[in-house]
Amino acid sequence: MKQHFEQQLEFLSELEKLKSVIRRTYLLDSSRRENDAEHSWQVSVMAILFGEYASHKDLDMLKVLKILLLHDAVEVYAGDTYIYDTLARSTQKEREGKAADRLFALLPDNQCSEFHKLWDEYEAAQTPEAKYANAIDRFQPLWHNYMTKGKAWQEHNVAAEATHRINDKIREGSSFLWEYGRDMIVQAVKKGYLNEK
């Protein structure tokens, strides 16, 4: 029992490092960029709030929350990969797969297996829960970018076409959120927050 508990504590100690993994997304007040722990917390709350907009009505919400709380855990080793960085994304799957193996191996066997399966499910994005989790994970930075007048988009010279293409995946988990997000992209271009090309 003590060894089991100490393995869990070791995992939590590593997970603490998410507080130091800085993302490209700015807080809504534009004062600083958010960290992975803040992102994971916010998308989890959003998933609960927006459950009524999910494409599938019989979601296992506890599973969705587990997925969202763990989906970026591997970034303690792999770092955050900016979604618009095509070069970094070309190695993301391999880097994050190795990080998942390393991180979840810290846990007792049963939790190692459960957490790895949840992370794999999110990555595959085939189940209703994973599709919804992915939709929320994409919607949150889209909303933040719009609310901060495109601060991160402008810093990285992001174009509307890339924003549409990358965020189109939202529709698989929530057509409502995608329609709302698509309108934000259109408005962002009109307001000069986002480059048209």
CATH number, domain with residue 56: 1.10.3210.10
196 belongs to a structural domain:
no
How many other CB atoms are there within 10 angstroms of residue 3's CB atom?
Answer: 8
3-state secondary structure of 174: coil
111 belongs to a structural domain:
yes
**Count of domains forming the chain:** 1
23 belongs to a structural domain:
no
Alpha carbons 142 and 183: distance in angstroms, whole number: 11
- Low-confidence stretches of the chain (pLDDT < 50) are none
- Residue 105 is classified by DSSP as T
22 belongs to a structural domain:
no
At residue 196, the pLDDT reads 87
178 belongs to a structural domain:
yes
Residue 35 is part of which domain span?
2-16+31-191
3-state secondary structure of 23: strand
At residue 197, the pLDDT reads 77
Alpha carbons 112 and 41: distance in angstroms, whole number: 21
153 belongs to a structural domain:
yes
At residue 178, the pLDDT reads 98
Evaluate if pTM is beyond 0.95.
Answer: yes
24 belongs to a structural domain:
no
25 belongs to a structural domain:
no
65-83 pLDDT, tens digit per residue, is 999 999 999 999 999 999 9
* Residue closest to 26 by CA, chosen among 162, 147, 133: 147
At residue 54, the pLDDT reads 98
